[in-house]
Structure 1
Amino acid sequence: MTRRPLEILDKALNQKPVIVSLKGGREIRGILQGYDVHMNLVLDNAEEDIDGVAEKRGTLIVRGDNVIYISPSVE
Structure 2
Amino acid sequence: MARKENALDLGKFIDKGVRVKLSGGREVQGVLKGYDQLLNLVMDETEEFLRDPEDPLRTGSQVRKLGLVVCRGTAVMMVSPTSGTEEIANPFQNAEET
TM-score of the aligned structures, taking structure 2 as reference length: 0.66
CA positional deviation for 1:56: 0.2
Q: Could you say what the CA RMSD is over the residues aligned between the two structures, in angstroms?
A: 1.6
- Taking only the aligned residue pairs, the percentage that are identical comes to 42
Name the amino acid aligned to 2:41.
L
The equivalences for 1:17-32 within 5 A come to 17-32=17-32
Structure 1 unaligned segments of length 5 or more: list them: none
**Structure with the larger helix share:** 1
Equivalent-residue separation in structure 2 for 1:54 and 1:34 (angstroms):
23
Equivalent position of 1:59 in the other structure = 68
Equivalent-residue separation in structure 2 for 1:35 and 1:4 (angstroms):
13
CA positional deviation for 1:29: 0.3
Equivalent position of 1:50 in the other structure = 50
CA positional deviation for 1:4: 3.8
Equivalent-residue separation in structure 2 for 1:12 and 1:5 (angstroms):
14
Find the residue that maps to 2:33 and give its secondary structure: strand
Equivalent position of 2:56 in the other structure = none
Please say which structure displays the higher CA radius of gyration. 2
Equivalent position of 2:14 in the other structure = 13
TM-score of the aligned structures, taking structure 1 as reference length: 0.85
CA positional deviation for 1:24: 0.5
